[in-house]
Structure formats: structure tokens, C-alpha cells
Structure 1
Amino acid sequence: MQEIPTWMAGQAKAVAIYNAPFWREDALSGDAMSRHVPTVEIHDESPSKGEPYALFRFIGVPPQLWNTL
């Protein structure tokens, strides 16, 4: 599996951990896609009950812009 390329292998990723799942107050959970950079995908990585509350993100900044941020 380590030799099989995937589209996400070269993408920056980020995980944000929160004290409370504030997004669920607006009935948001699951996955979201965006065409606006820098975040192009967001996934709710929290368990259905209990902690930790976390959002996982794919950062969609093209490599040629990395040094300009």
C-alpha cells in the first residue's frame, strides 16, 4: 500500500480539537466540501457521543503558493 499513490498524499492536513462540538448546534456534522481555499474538505472526526471533538481538514493550497502564506 505504501507504493500506491493517492490524491491526498501530497495535501496538507490539519486537525483542530475543540472543547465542545459547536457545529452540531447548527445540525452540522459529517463532511463538507468547499471551492474556497485554504480549506477544501472538512470532516467531523468526533465520536457520536463524548470527546474528543475534532474537525479534520484538507488544506487546498497549491504547492507554488506555500512560500507566500
Structure 2
Amino acid sequence: MGRGKVQLRRIENKINRQVTFSKRRTGLLKKANEISVLCDAEVALIVFSTKGKLSEYASDSCDQYVPTNPQR
């Protein structure tokens, strides 16, 4: 038996929203690394939090595309 479809909607509670963002960001960065390694793909991922904090991942060949000091 599989999982049911999840209804996507904004999380109204600010603390719960930040916790969910943090957990999902970690998982997303891990998945970006996995697809880069497993499929020998060039991957670049840039994520900004609601407060403007940058999280990024780039495979070795994509380092040139990721800004070192991004302006938001």
C-alpha cells in the first residue's frame, strides 16, 4: 500500500514552516548530491530562505555558475 497524495498548502504557523523548510532543504541538497553522483550529471541548486539565507549545492563542474556573494 502506497502513500496517499498530500495536499500542498502554505504552513501558517511560522515556527512549523521554518522547521519544515530546514528539514526539506537538507533532503533536497542530499538528493541533488545523489543525482550528481549516480547519474554523473551536472547539478546546481540555489535555495533562499524567507530571511534571505542562501543554501547552495553545485557539482564540481558547476562551481562556476554558483555566485560566491549573491545579492538578493
TM-score bracket relative to the smaller structure: under 0.3
Greater relative contact order structure (CA < 8 Å, 6+ sep): 1
Q: What is the TM-score with the length of structure 1 in the denominator?
A: 0.26
Q: Which has the higher helix share?
A: 2
Q: Which has the higher strand share?
A: 1
